[in-house]
Structure 1
């Protein structure tokens, strides 16, 4: 084992300790001019979805997350895009720089009944008219998902969503 004096390995290890990373998959379910939103225990509205487990395919994760958070079964219709954002330590919940990679899918609800997440952080899921979304305190990922669904950019990339006011990280 080499013990170089450049500190490269130590710096790399330090970076891992100072930063967070999350891979997540989100469902954009739109029906009759309404989008399915889930209310987090914090009060913020978000899209159904969440963290991808180690070894899990994001495609499978989004179906699992919709079922866990809403009580409904879903099918994925298509990939909408991937969003990568870095949340600076000054505003991140853990107080360290945090990168979130969100994989967004267009999905349809195929069965079940909306309910709160048992023993989870989702307290309610509701179909919300798209024009009313702008007036809700919501996660920025809601705006990203709607932008991807409405514009369907060929690259699967949308401009960063400004955060503040009713839009939270």
Structure 2
């Protein structure tokens, strides 16, 4: 089994959440939170700020740690064929935007970034990471953990 440590940004302003559209190798697009893999020897705190800048063009400031999510993505659900199951450990941070200009990621895995009304999230094809991040931000559980999000319909890994 592969393992990945990732950091994700939950940015909610004026009833809208910042989302990015990930492009899968087969051309499908899925809405998700800005964020991604923590590089070797990188602090997750720094990784989330870097990922927001890379994927959206915006400058983020971390306000608080929200929690941690761990999930196993079966090999059949991974973007790259021939890979094994993946344990993704995600660290979620509440961030605030302090500058920059919204733009798509140049030469990256995201097709664009948008501010989306929280009320419209349920109607989007999205990663379950969006639901986990919103649940953490809205409930602020003392444990830093929320129940797993059921997959299916519009919600994917």
TM-score (norm 1): 0.86
Distance 1:31 1:21 in 2: 32
Distance 1:88 1:123 in 2: 25
Q: Which moved more, 1:32-41 or 1:88-97?
A: 88-97
- Secondary structure of the residue aligned to 1:55 is coil
The question of 1:137 aligning with 2:125 is answered yes
Cα drift, residue 97 of structure 1: 1.5
The residue that corresponds to 1:10 in the other structure is: none
Distance 1:106 1:118 in 2: 24
5+ residue gaps, structure 2, are: none
Q: Which moved more, 1:92-101 or 1:115-124?
A: 92-101
The residue that corresponds to 2:48 in the other structure is: 62
Q: Which moved more, 1:113-122 or 1:88-97?
A: 88-97
Following TM superposition, the consecutive aligned residue runs of length 4 or more in structure 1 with deviations greater than 6 angstroms are none
Task: Tell me which structure has the larger Cα radius of gyration.
Answer: 1
Distance 1:134 1:28 in 2: 16
The residue that corresponds to 1:168 in the other structure is: 156
The residue that corresponds to 1:48 in the other structure is: 34
CA shift digits 1:98-149 (9 cap, x unpaired): 1000000000010011100001011110100001011000001000000000
Distance 1:157 1:105 in 2: 13
The residue that corresponds to 1:92 in the other structure is: 78
TM-score (norm 2): 0.93
Match runs of 1:67-86 below 5 Å: 67-86=53-72
Cα RMSD for the two superposed structures: 1.0
The residue that corresponds to 1:106 in the other structure is: 94
The residue that corresponds to 2:7 in the other structure is: 25
Distance 1:24 1:162 in 2: 20
Which structure ranks higher in relative contact order (CA pairs < 8 Å, sequence separation ≥ 6)?
Answer: 2
5+ residue gaps, structure 1, are: 1-18
CA shift digits 1:21-45 (9 cap, x unpaired): 1100000000011000001123100
